[in-house]
Chains A and B, each alone.
Chain A
């Protein structure tokens, strides 16, 4: 009996049931907190026609960007899609459908989707191209647009640490969209750096409850840095 044990031992098992034309909700901000091994596995198995909902689409060489080489993505819902040559080409040629979505609206779409709320009003995007075709309503003299939430066939998530029940702890700004994405998948797959036994995590430190998690796998991560910005170390002889 597996009980609440969510651990799987191969990426094949982690993504079992993934089919062409499915919708994926993917965590990460740029390359920070990317489920990089799950993305590599999708490239390997060659699933196509995917709709991907994620803040960015990786870079030319890393993250979700690698799914563009073989044109595996049909539609991308994202807030920022720079830093990726293939993306621009495929968008311009019409091979890739793009729905630019404000970052906060995208986060809320995932949160609401996972929480069973089908739509919400936000002032973000009112009077802009984002509002086209959307209901406008006034509350207390201010205009808001109706945004629909999102859910996915799969959610792909990167966390720092988990217990085998799928209780998750994220690390620093690698948290970003990950816990939100995790709530919005019919099947939520999480890859982590460390797996511990139930009871080893302090329940107070758990960022996301295992109830949202279906499959858990331990991975090794490259963690590519997009903009390595450095302060020169202070020379101790110079003093303060």
Chain B
């Protein structure tokens, strides 16, 4: 079975380490915050100028001056700090954020990522995504492995305008956990009940499969 959005978030959360500063993109990445493993402390960075993002507010706590990068009302966790946008991206570009999780339309075997624009269809802008992929070393891309029509999104070469070049090393899809190195995809884990063959069939770029590929555990 392909992973649900929640399961993708849950598997990403297993990559969190105690003391990590983490930036979570909009969509599935945001859900990762719900699955922080017990006994681990992480601090969430929101690129509009908040480190130490808390839960959504109660009705009484709602504050128009306190939002996240998705423009949702939020609260601050204990130990939070506030800063301007230049400072926020100094943290990101300067490599001070330990883990970045973001979505994508396509990735390819060279570690290129396309996530912000579909010419003629979707032109909303890159927001902070280009800075995040250029500045972070440890990035996990979450995405669906293929379109509804079975067209692979893990390609030899991205077809859409790039968000970043050669910057992606890890991809978690609804079918597989994949590493990108030496111009190839490498299958690390598969979703429970999903066969290696199925993954190979839906991966356009070259996929290296070494021995028995373990199933993800939750």
Contact = CB atoms under 8 A, between A and B. Distances in A.
A55 B131 CA distance: 14
A227 B130 contact: no
A93 interface: no
B123 A124 contact: no
Interface residues of B, number: 52
B194 interface: no
Chain B binding surface, main DSSP class: loop
Interface residues on chain A, size class: 35 or more
Contact of A33 (B63, B65, B164): B65
A130 B117 CA distance: 12
Contacts, number: 176
A124 B58 contact: no
Contacts of A175: 49, 82-84
Interface stretch (A14-22, A103-111, A210-218): A103-111
A229 B63 CA distance: 11
A127 B134 CA distance: 10
A102 B65 contact: no
User: Shortest 3 CB-CB distances between A and B: which pairs?
Assistant: A127-B165, A104-B89, A104-B131
Given A29-B67, A122-B134, A126-B165, 17 more contacts: A32-B71, A88-B123, A100-B123, A102-B129, A103-B47, A103-B85, A104-B135, A106-B85, A124-B93, A128-B130, A129-B161, A173-B50, A176-B49, A176-B85, A226-B67, A228-B62, A229-B57
Interface of B: 46-50, 55-60, 62-68, 70-74, 76, 82-86, 88-89, 92-93, 112, 117, 123-131, 134-135, 161-166
